[in-house]
Amino acid sequence: MSLSIPSDIESLRELAFRLIVRIETLEAENRQLGAKMLNLEAGNRQMAARIQSLEAENEQLRARLKANSQNSHLPPSSDGPRKQPAIPRKRGGPKGGKKGHKGDTLKMVANPEETVPCRPTVCSCGQVLEGIEGRIVERRQVFNLPEPKLQVTEYQRLVCKCPCCQRQSSGIFPQGVNAPVQYGSGVKAFTTLLSVRGCLSYQKIQRIFQDLFGQAINESTVYSANQKASCAILHDRDNDGDIDITGSDEGMDVLVLFENQGAVPSREPGSRMQASFSLAANPCRERCALIMGLPAPTVVTVALFDALGRLVLYETLGQLGSGRQQVLLDTGQLPEGLYWCRATAGAVQWTGAVVVAD
């Protein structure tokens, strides 16, 4: 850019004045730009410090994500479920069971529960094949579950009148049938299996019974079945190297211990009990049943005492065989009240209460 210099003094003065104003303006703009540059540099330093802080925080977060119970102080419970790869890794070796592995597959049975013949009805020529004997050329078996259903068994206690003495004798319900309506041992075993082996809650067991059998079993029933099953414990009580079974017989009011024959008879806890006893039809009027479990033939005697300890009945039953035995005690001539029944089988004695009432 060329600048023409005037020749007269006034023009030179005017030009010099304009130049001075221009220089002052540029100096002011220069100062403003310098201040802006300082502000930008300060902001740049702040941004750099912020970026450095964020990078450090990012590294800490990344390290925290990689931390587990093996490379940090975190407990194993903080590891969480391990993620499996979306695409399974290819592993070497042949597929299927290894050499020497015994397979467990379905095998045909000789006597199936149901047989369905698949007979041809019409020949390709149009001849009807009904009534013509056929031969089996191929068999196929389908293993299926039957329809789940609760089987109800009704026990009816009958009263019979003796044609000789005209007395009425009442039947006795089987052992374990103690209520008008109750679940059987199969249901209790199934609920115990679901609760203990299946680790299912009582509410889930209720839903399973409702869905399968249309009957929501009570929680107290499941609990009671678990408690009775817990009484059956396998262990070696006499330290002779084999397993003894300790359990409580349903309906019995005594604990029955079944141990091997090598155990020494003793009255100490844990030794082999020689007999077990229970009373049925109690309270009673005409008859009271004494149910005994004898491991071997034993001489048995029964005595009945009133509340004051006076002997009112004594019977020698002689030698009874092993197994379950049942004896009817005649209480028809006794007044109402509380009596004590004492049964003796060999060296074992048992006492139980008998209530005589109309």
**pLDDT score for 153:** 92
Residue 273 CB neighbour total at 10 angstroms: 18
243 backbone dihedrals φ, ψ, rounded to 5°? -95, 130
Residues 281-307: b if buried by 16+ CB within 10 A, e if exposed = bbebebbbbbbbbbbeebebebbbbbe
Determine the residue type at 52.
Answer: Q
CA pair distance 205, 218, nearest whole angstrom: 9
Torsion of CA 43, 45, 50, 54, to 10 degrees: 140
List the beta bridge partners of residue 299.
319
| Pairing assessment for the beta strands 168-170 and 233-235 based on DSSP bridges | unpaired
Predicted confidence at residue 84, as pLDDT, reads 62
CB 13: neighbour CB atoms within 10 A? 11
Q: Which amino acid is at 208?
A: I
CA end-to-end distance (rounded Å), the chain = 140
Token digits for 90?
A: 């290819």
Sign of CA pseudo-dihedral 349, 176, 323, 288: positive
**Phi and psi, residue 224, nearest 5°:** -65, -40
- CA–CA distance, 288 with 339 (Å, rounded to integer): 11
The confidence score (pLDDT) of residue 225 equals 83
Query: Judging by DSSP bridges, how do beta strands 311-320 and 348-356 pair with one another?
Result: unpaired
Nearest to 173 by CA among 158, 161, 188: 158
- Cα dihedral 131, 133, 137, 142 in deg (nearest 10): 50
- Distance between CA atoms of residues 307 and 356, nearest Å: 12
126-182 pLDDT, tens per residue? 888 888 888 999 999 999 888 888 989 999 999 998 888 888 888 888 888 888 999
Closest to 273 in 3D by CA, of 298, 308, 251: 298
* Amino acid in position 128: V
Residue type, 345: A
| pTM for the structure as a whole | 0.40
Extended beta strands in 171-297, E state: 233-235, 244-248, 255-258, 276-280, 287-294
According to the model, what pLDDT value does residue 272 have? 47
CB neighbour burial string for 91-128, b if at least 16 within 10 angstroms, e if fewer: eeeeeeeeeeeeeeeeeeeeeeeeeeeeeeeeeeeeee
Burial of 342 per CB tally in 10 Å (0-12, 13-18, 19+):
middle
Virtual torsion, Cα 96, 100, 101, 107, nearest 10 deg: 100
Low-confidence ranges of the chain (pLDDT < 50): 1, 232-273
Spatial contact of 119 and 134, defined as CB atoms under 8 Å apart: yes
State how far the Cα of 302 lies from the Cα of 345, in Å rounded to an integer. Answer: 9
Cα–Cα distance between 288 and 343 in angstroms, integer? 13
